[in-house]
A and B are shown apart, each in its own frame.
Chain A
Amino acid sequence: MQRARSRNVASARAAHDPTRILVAVLVLILLLLVVPPLWFLLQGSLHTTTVTGGLGDFTLAYYRRLLADRQFFGSLANSLTFSLGATMIALCFGGLVAWLVERTNAPLKAFAYLTAIISLGTPFVLYVIAWLFLLGRVGPLNEFIVFLGLPRFNVYSMSGMILVEGFLWSPLAFLLLSSVFQQANAEYEEAARMSGAGIFQTVTRISMRLAMPAFAAVALLMIVRSIEAFEVPALIGLPGKVKVLTTDIYLDMTQNVPPDLGYSSAFSLVLLVLAGGLIWLYSRISRQASRYHSVTGRGFRSRLFDLGRARYLGGGLILLNFFLILAAPALGLLWLALMPFSQGFSARGLRLVTLENFRTVFHSTVYVDLVWQTLLMSAGAATCIMAITVLCGWLAVRRRPGGWLLDQLATAPLIFPGIVLGVAMIQIYLAVPFALYGTLWAFVIAFTIRYLPYGMRYSAAGVLQIHPELEEAASVAGSPLATVLRRITVPLATPALLAGWLFIFLIAARDLSLAVILASPSVQPVSAAMFDLWANGQGTELAAFGLVWTAIMTVIAAAFYLVGRRTVASAVRA
């Protein structure tokens, strides 16, 4: 009887709960963002394509072709090898540097942060081109290897792909793992050392074991991201005859006229299932990771390891990381930017130095347009995402009815690899009755879907930091919900929201896999333009433009770092 009454009271309260309409609206928005791409991919993979690119008859032929295609299984195996290898490199390299910076007294730590921050704002395509120049047949690094009497390294191979992709992810691995090390409680390590364990023993038996679940979660994230990677497979894999799933989809979309939408949709769904499975595994691991939390309510302090003389070796490694990930590619690009045509470092080249490429970049209205459009679309997407997710995050964290569903829906796009979402979105834009194709909105919507999960994590982390009693006090004092959110929640969560905004802005501005499919003559993001310039044979002009763009983005990345130092960790892992 009593239970029934309390249920009645609860349902009566729910009926008056002002959040119900809000939840309904948000669910609708999220469904509209998440479901159509899946639906269009499924439709596309089950129908033939007509001469004009429309949907034809129902067919299962694409899936049959996929299963009969030996190349498909080759690409699948390559995708897995590539992502596992790259993850190993990124984790070892980034992890080592993170440990040195956070847990030891090695010098030159600022260089590690400088490297990570600048690399956050640099398009991967630009990095890949720089490393191709350095590691190419006649690149300076290869010349050095040959000078040492070792055989020349062929970068256009699976090992070359793994190496470069590993380098690409190592700054992010550094950022994520350094936060893990930051949060590790030194008490256990100190106890180990007081019991007579050496540095090595302490690291392997205490520090590493405590960090294991976090390591596993970061590793899985890197594996998923490398399976979805496009830049390295396209620029290094294709010339080296190493195909992976993403390049297969890209070739089907661009080499056939009209594009083989059905086959690439079928291919995309396979990639999507693969990524989805891994993300599911990832969420399970990160849930368990909380059991390993070593920071407790009691006085938490962290003590640095004294490496003794080895600290200089540590400093050397940090410097090597700075050189490999930042200085060498930047120098390579600067050299190319100053040359009238692509050529290796040489004394002869010094006589040819010219500022012509920079002059072209600064005088061409095309480049100015590219920069503006990219800034606008990235800012647009970041704003939309944070606006949606601050509400979703609040509802989810405060466990309001429907909050759980909103969290799930906003996290769902994680399963979309960029290129897959590109294939889906182009089909949607071509099918809708109003003009979206070729507008800035096309990008804003696509980026919003793709990066929604990141915004969700930042917003949730921001709300989590605010104790509900502040909001409750305002409610009791008679403020309606909108006022509470506007006056209490949003202002207090601002640092997290701003960090989320900047992070999304940065990663959207360097996105290539999605952009390369959606780019149209009227709207083209910087990264897609860079890819075109490379394919075009305008490598020297690209280098000049790339340096200018990186300078702009570094300023924004530095702002991100300053604002979001504390919130980066939890959110980037989303």
Chain B
Amino acid sequence: MMKLRGIALILAALLVAPCAQAADSALYEAAKKEGSVVWYTSLIVNQAVRPLVEAFEKKYPGVTVKYARADSGPNAIKVIDEARAGKVMGDVFDGIATAPPLLKAGLVAPFTPSDAGKYPLEMRDPEARWNALVVYFLTPGINTQLVGKDEIKTAHDLLNPKWKGKIAWSTDPWSGCAVYVGSILQTMGEDKGMAFLRALAKQDIINVDATNRAILDQVILGQYPVALSIFNHHAEISAQKGAPAAWLKVEPISAPFHSIGLVKNAPHPNAGKLLIDFLLSEEGQKTFASVGYLPAMPSVPAKVAGLKPEAGGFKANFISPAVMSANIDRWIKIKQDLFQ
């Protein structure tokens, strides 16, 4: 009986495999006819976008990737503006907070990538409109020449008067200030959380209108000794180049999803699908890992294992697009009231 089931499984696999291959090559042929794909991304260009585009174009010659980088919010605005102007130009969008407003405006096309099954359910939309691409862990970052690694061990150490006016954070709500506010409230509870935030506001946190990556660069430069909430893998990438940067395992560590999806009425739908399919495949995820990013596919390990909670020994506070969507306005309001 077992043997029979085994044979049946092998047969099924043999039948399915060519099908998947066929679908893939059909998609590739259709994409080649379209020639190019326009990707609105919020990934950092020199760290991730360039190597990913290179890998994609090498695997699929004849399909070129045109990318434009912006933060999540502006990316969503672009897609909405284009739909309004009746001139859709973007095919693929990604970002921490690009999906929610686009879902609300009905501007996302469903697409199930071939490796969707390799992602846990909470990392993809039940209606196949988005899928987690990479994961992020937002931690404090320091300049190691200005701050000792043991000087800040818990969030309450940040309230030490010696840090007054020396801590910076990003005004980008979805990867910076508002997400930090949310994580504090979620992990400490409403009352304790608000008390902590009020005390933190007295530290004169510096608002910087730039990405976490740019803020970390300012930290490396010595402009600010401490960044409150940066992506831990960025600090690792810079440290490997010899920069005086380090991330701290100081909880709460927010973990927003960076998701990817297909724009509705995209001008190059097949090339768009091909790109999404590639980025979410094992090969694409391995490319992310090779440049120091943290793949969302659980079976692909990170280059530095300690950056993820399991191997790094820290607790992460995952924030799904749904939770983000439901709470972000309130978190922004709290940030504006206390820290403006």
Contact = CB atoms under 8 A, between A and B. Distances in A.
Nearest to A54: B84
B338 interface: no
A521 B90 contact: yes
Contacts, number: 136
Given A239-B208, A254-B77, A521-B90, A136 B223 contact: yes
Contact of B217 (A342, A521, A524): A342
Query: Which residue among A138, A241, A524, A535 has the maximum number of chain B CB atoms within 10 Å of its CB?
Result: A535
A522 interface: yes
Interface stretch (B24-32, B64-72, B192-200, B293-301): B64-72
A276 interface: no
Given A53-B81, A437-B85, A536-B69, A238 B222 contact: no
Contact of A520 (B80, B89, B173, B210): B89
A342 B206 contact: no
Contacts of B218: 136, 342
Q: Is the interface of A mostly helix, strand, loop or mixed?
A: loop
Interface residues of A, number: 46
Interface stretch (B37-45, B131-139, B269-277): B37-45
B35 interface: no
B105 interface: yes
Contacts of A539: 214, 217
A426 to B, nearest CB: 7
Contacts of A521: 38, 40, 66-68, 78, 89-90
A437 B82 contact: yes
A479 interface: no
Interface in A256-285: 256-259
Contacts of A344: 221-222
Interface in B205-226: 206-218, 220-224
A138 B222 contact: yes
B222 A258 contact: no
B162 interface: no
A214 to B, nearest CB: 38
Given A238-B209, A534-B210, A430 B242 contact: no
A538 B81 contact: no
Contact of A138 (B44, B82, B223): B223
B306 interface: no
Chain B residues touching A, range: 35 or more
B217 A255 contact: no
B105 A360 contact: no
A536 B156 CA distance: 30
A239 B209 contact: yes
Contact of A257 (B85, B101, B217): B101
B171 A437 contact: no
Contacts of A256: 73
Contact of B211 (A259, A340, A360, A535): A535
Query: Which residue among A53, A341, A539 has the maximum number of chain B CB atoms within 10 Å of its CB?
Result: A341
B238 interface: yes
Contacts of B217: 341-342, 537, 539
B213 A239 contact: no
A537 B80 contact: no
Interface string A156-180: 1000000000000000000000000
Interface in A221-253: 234, 238-239, 241, 251
B78 A53 contact: no
Contact of B243 (A343, A438, A524, A536): A343
Contacts of A536: 44-45, 69, 210-211, 213-214
A541 interface: yes
A429 interface: yes
Contacts of B84: 52-54, 430
Contacts of B309: none
B131 to A, nearest CB: 21
A524 B210 CA distance: 19
Contacts of A435: 85-87
Nearest to B64: A365
Given A535-B214, A538-B45, A238 B220 contact: no
A43 to B, nearest CB: 15
B180 to A, nearest CB: 16
Contacts of A340: 241-242
B221 A342 contact: yes
A109 interface: no
A3 to B, nearest CB: 58
Contacts of B67: 521
Contacts of B44: 536-538
Interface in A111-148: 133, 136-138
Given A138-B221, A438-B87, A537-B216, A257 B38 contact: no
A51 B104 contact: yes
A256 B84 CA distance: 16
6 A-B pairs with the lowest CB-CB distances in the bound complex, closest first: A521-B68, A537-B213, A537-B214, A138-B222, A257-B101, A238-B209
Interface of A: 51-54, 71, 133, 136-138, 156, 234, 238-239, 241, 251, 254-259, 340-344, 352, 360, 426, 429-430, 435, 437-438, 520-522, 524, 532, 534-539, 541
30 contacts: A136-B222, A138-B221, A238-B209, A239-B206, A241-B207, A255-B73, A255-B173, A257-B77, A257-B101, A258-B77, A258-B101, A258-B105, A259-B77, A340-B241, A342-B221, A344-B221, A429-B85, A430-B81, A430-B84, A435-B87, A437-B82, A520-B78, A521-B67, A521-B90, A522-B38, A536-B45, A536-B211, A537-B212, A537-B215, A539-B217
Interface of B: 38, 40, 44-46, 66-71, 73-74, 76-78, 80-87, 89-90, 101, 104-105, 168, 171, 173, 206-218, 220-224, 238, 241-243, 340
Given A341-B220, A522-B66, 4 more contacts: A257-B80, A343-B221, A534-B214, A537-B214
